[in-house]
A and B are shown apart, each in its own frame.
Chain A
Amino acid sequence: MAALNVLLSGCGRFLRGLLTGPTVTNWARPPARAFREVVEIQEGKTTILEGRITGTPKESPNPPNPSGQCPICRWNLKHRYSYEDVLLLSQFIRPHGGMLPRRITGLCQEEHRKIEECVKMAHRAGLLPNHRPKLPEGFVPKTRPRLNRYLTRWSPRSVKPIYNKGRRWNKVRMAVGSPLLKDNVSYTGRPLVLYH
C-alpha cells in the first residue's frame, strides 16, 4: 500500500516535470519579470495594494578581469573579502537574509560556499540588521540581552560549553572564523589563527 502511494507520487512528479517542459504555452504561468515590491497605500477608507516592478540592477560596466567565469574572479576579489565586506555580501542575499542560488548568481562552487559562510558570520555579528527573518503576524519575540560576537563559525544555540579543556598536549581549542577563508590575503602580515 505504502509502496503503491510512493510509486504514484513518483509518477506525479515525473508527469509534472513533463508538463513544465518546453511544450507548455505561456498562459500556464504568468510572465515573471524582474524584481518587484508590494506597496500599500491608504486613501481614506480604501487601501490599495500595488505591486510595482523595480528596475533590475545590472552588473557595473568594465570589470577588471572580463575573462573570469564567476563574479568574484571577474572583479579580482578571489581571496580578498571577509565577513566585514557587507556591501559585497549584501548583493548575494535575499531581503530576509537567505542566500540566492548558485545557478542564478553565477558563482563557482567554492566561492558560493565562502560567501555563504561569510554571510552567516555577518548575520551572527549583527552586521545585517535589516535582513532579519520574517516573523509570523503579531509575534513579539522575547528581548534577551544580546551578546556581541564576531567570526562565529557555529550557530550559538548549537554549541556546548567546554567543561574539560584537556591536557597541555591535547587541548580542546575554540574555533574562530572559517577554514574556507584560510587562503585570504593578510595585509597585516600576521598569520590567520583558526583555533584559539
Chain B
Amino acid sequence: MAGLSRAPQQWATFARVWYLLDGKMQPPGKLAALASVRLQGLHKPVYHQLSDCGDHVVIMNTRHIAFSGNKWEQKVYSSHTGYPGGFKQVTASQLHQKDPVAIVKLAIYGMLPKNLHRRTLMQRLHLFPDEDIPEDILKNLTEELPQPRKVPRRLDEYTQEEIEAFPRVWSPPEDYRL
C-alpha cells in the first residue's frame, strides 16, 4: 500500500460497504448464509466481535425465492402471541403470500449470533420483494455478490442450434406414433 497514509488506510479498511444480492430462483437458506457472513464482517481478515466491522446487505427479488424439495408445503413457521390459545403455525407458502420478505428475514435472523448485536445487524439488512429499490440505497451499492445457486435453463431458453447439436439418444420404431 504505497499510496495511502495511516488515517486514510484505516478509513478504507473499516468503511462500511453495501452489497447487493439477487434472490431470484435462489434458496433462502443459502442467501441467508451469505448475508449473515457479510453482516457480521466475518469475510474480513480484520474481524473482531466488538469492532463493528459488518457491512450492509441489500437483497432484492425475495418474492421469487425457490425452495428445494416440498418445503413450501412442509416447512412450518411457528409463533406465539403470548396470550392463551395464541400458538400460530403457518406453512412457508402461506407466510410468503402474507409477507414476501418474511422468509428471508427469519432465515437471516436465525443465522446471526444470538446476542445484542443481532438487532443492529438486522437494521443493516435491507430486503425488497421485487426489483424496485429506493434511489438512495441504489446509490450506496458497491458490489453485487454472485448468486449461490446456478439456475438451470428451461427448454425454451436453449437455442435451436444447441437443441440440434445435442445428440439424439434413441430412435423410435418405424411404425410408432406419439
Contacts and interface: CB of A to CB of B under 8 A. Distances in A.
B155 A86 contact: yes
Interface stretch (A9-17, A39-47, A133-141, A152-160): A152-160
A95 interface: yes
B171 A58 contact: yes
Contacts of B152: 83-84, 86, 125, 127, 150
A17 B139 CA distance: 76
A126 B177 CA distance: 26
B71 interface: yes
A31 B68 contact: no
Contacts of B76: 161-163, 165
- Would you call the interface of chain A mostly helix, strand, loop, or mixed? loop
Nearest to B66: A148
B71 A91 contact: no
A91 B155 contact: no
Contact of B178 (A58, A83, A84, A94): A94
B47 to A, nearest CB: 26
B178 A91 contact: no
Contact of B69 (A34, A95, A175): A175
Interface string B54-93: 0000000000111111111111100000000000010101
Nearest to B71: A174
A4 interface: no
A94 B176 CA distance: 12
Interface string A68-106: 000110110100000110111011101100001000111
12 contacts: A34-B174, A35-B177, A60-B168, A90-B155, A127-B152, A147-B96, A150-B66, A153-B70, A161-B74, A174-B71, A176-B68, A177-B69
Given A58-B171, A149-B72, 16 more contacts: A75-B169, A84-B152, A100-B178, A127-B152, A129-B154, A145-B97, A149-B67, A150-B152, A152-B69, A152-B70, A159-B73, A160-B73, A161-B73, A162-B74, A175-B69, A176-B68
